Amino acid sequence: MLGEAAREAWVARPLFTVGPGECLGIVGESGSGKSMTCRSILGLVPRPGAIIDGSIRWRGQELVGASERRLRRIRGGEIGMIFQDPASALNPVYTIGSQIVETIVAHTDQGRAAARATAVELLSRVGIPSPRERANAYPHQLSGGMRQRAMIALAISCNPSLILADEPTTNLDVTIQDQILHLLADLRAEQEMAMILVSHDLGVVSQTADRVAVMYAGHIIEQASTRELFVRGRHPYTRGLIRALPSLQAGRERDRLVPIEGQPPELDRFPAGCPFQPRCASQRDECAQVDMALAQVGVDHLSACPFEPDARGGVRNGRS
C-alpha cells in the first residue's frame, strides 16, 4: 500500500506520461513489473491479478474500470502491443495473414481484399522474405525471429497512436534488431506514434528512448531524459545498472564490471520503506522510512531516493 505522502505525490504527478512521437524506455530486472505495466494499460492483467487502484488516462478518458467493449476498440486499433512471446500471442490455428487481416478489418474501413494486400506489405516491411507466401503460413511454420517480426507487423497494422513494445527485439539477430528499431523509429517520425519500449538491453534503450523510467520491485524508482539518466543517474539501483555495463570505447581498457549483489525481494515479502535497501551498498536505518514517492532532483529528473549520490556511487543525506 502507498503511504499518505506517496499517495499525495502520485495524485499530484503521474508516474509517467508519453506524448506523440515520443519514446519512453522502461528498464529493470525480470519481475520488476515492466511487462505488467504495459498489460495494465490495455486491461490485460492475467488473473488472479487485478488493478486495484490508480488511474490510466488515454486521450482524456479513464481506462481503469473501462468496459471490455471499450478496451477492445482500443486494443490493436488506437494502441498496439508487441508481446514478448509471439508464440503465445499469435493464434496457432489461423495463418499469419488472416490474423493481420482480421485486425485491419475490425479497426479500419478497409475491405478484406485491401486488408490482405496491406498484410503482405506489412510482412515485407518488417523484413520477412517471400511475404505473400509467409502470409499463408501458420505461426508454428515460422522461425522464432519471423514470428517476432509477424507480431510487430500485427501490432502496427492499424497505424496505432501508441505502441507498447515489450522486448520487441527478443530472439532477433543484431541485423534484424537494427532493422526493427529503425522501422519503429520511422513510424514514430511519420505518424507521430508514441512508444513505450520495455527492454533489458540498456544499449537499445540508450539509442532509442527519449526518456527512461527505471523499475524495481513494482516501483518506478527514477525517471529522466536518456542522456541525463545515463550521465547523472541518482538512484543507487540505477547507478548499479550503469556500472554493470561493459565499456568498449576505442583506446580505453575495459573497466571491471561491478554486479549488483543479492536478489530482488519476493513480492509478498517487501522490506519496509525502499525495497532496494537489502541490496544497496549505502543502506541506512532511514531507508525503512522512504515512501518511494518520486521527487524532483533535477530538470525533468525524478528519483525515489531521498539521499544525494556521492562520487563513489553511494549516497549522502539530503536531496538537492
- For residue 147, the domain's CATH number is 3.40.50.300
Both 164 and 230 in one domain: the answer is no
Q: Are residues 13 and 95 in the same domain?
A: no
Among 173, 199, 225, which residue terminates a domain?
199
Number of domains in the chain: 2
Co-location of 7 and 40 in the same domain: no
Q: Is the pLDDT of residue 183 over 60?
A: yes
Q: What is the residue type of 309?
A: P
- Tell me what the pLDDT averaged over the chain comes to: 86
Nearest to 105 by CA among 69, 158, 42: 158
Work out the widest C-alpha separation in the chain, in whole angstroms. Answer: 66
Region 242-252 average pLDDT: 67
**Average pLDDT rounded to a whole number, residues 217-225:** 94
Mean pLDDT of 309-318: 53
Q: Which three cell numbers stand for residue 24?
A: 519512453
pLDDT of res. 179 = 82
Backbone angles phi, psi at 260, to 5 degrees: -90, 115
Work out the average pLDDT over 100-118: 96
Q: Give yes or no: residues 167 and 40 share one domain.
A: yes
Task: Assess whether 174 and 162 both reside in one domain.
Answer: yes
Of the pLDDT bands very low, low, confident and very high (cuts 50, 70, 90), residue 249 is: low
Residues 115-144 have a mean pLDDT of 94
Omega into 48 within 30° of 0, i.e. cis? yes
163 and 20 in a common domain: no
Is it the case that residue 17 has pLDDT exceeding 60? yes
* Domain range for 7: 1-30+205-320
Q: Do 26 and 37 reside in the same domain of the chain?
A: no
Q: What pLDDT score does 175 carry?
A: 82
Q: Do 50 and 24 belong to one domain?
A: no
Residues 88 and 152 grouped into a single domain: yes
Q: Is the pLDDT of residue 129 over 50?
A: yes
pLDDT for res 201? 85
List pLDDT tens digits, range 42-97: 999 988 888 888 899 999 899 999 999 999 999 989 999 999 888 888 999 999 99
Same domain, 139 and 74: yes
CA terminus-to-terminus distance, the chain: 27
- Among 170, 199, 228, which residue terminates a domain? 199
Calculate the dihedral angle through the C-alpha atoms of 166, 197, 180, 31, rounding to the nearest 10 degrees.
-30
The mean pLDDT of 268-274, rounded to a whole number, is 86
Local structure of 224: helix, strand or coil: strand
> Same domain for 120 and 186?
yes
Q: In terms of DSSP bridges, do strands 23-27 and 211-216 run parallel, antiparallel, or are they unpaired?
A: parallel
Tell me: do 111 and 172 sit in the same domain. Answer: yes
Question: Where are the strands (E) in 101-250, listed by range?
Answer: 162-166, 194-198, 211-216, 219-225
Predicted confidence band of residue 254 (pLDDT cuts 50, 70, 90): low
Q: How many CB atoms lie within 10 A of CB 196?
A: 24
Q: Is the pLDDT assigned to residue 252 strictly greater than 60?
A: no
Phi, psi (deg, nearest 5) at residue 27: -125, 160
Write the DSSP string, 32-75: SSHHHHHHHHTT-PPTT----S---EETTEE-TT--HHHHHHHB
The reported pTM is 0.86
Among candidate residues 149, 172, 199, the one where a domain is terminated:
199
Kindly report which listed range (51-60, 100-109, 214-223) carries the lowest average pLDDT score.
Answer: 51-60
Own/partner contacts of 137-146, CB < 8 Å, gap of 24 or more, are 137/95, 137/96, 138/92, 138/93, 138/94, 138/95, 138/96, 139/86, 139/87, 139/90, 139/91, 139/92, 139/96, 140/92, 142/96, 144/86, 144/87, 144/171, 145/171, 145/172, 145/173, 145/176
Contact present, 164 and 58 (Cβ < 8 Å): no
d(CA 189, CA 184) in angstroms, rounded, equals: 9
CB atoms within 10 A of CB 85: 16
Least trusted range by pLDDT, from 16-20, 23-27, 172-176, 309-313: 309-313
β-pairing, 308-309 vs 315-316, is antiparallel
- pLDDT at 3 > cutoff 80: no
Confidence at residue 12, expressed as pLDDT on a 0 to 100 scale:
40
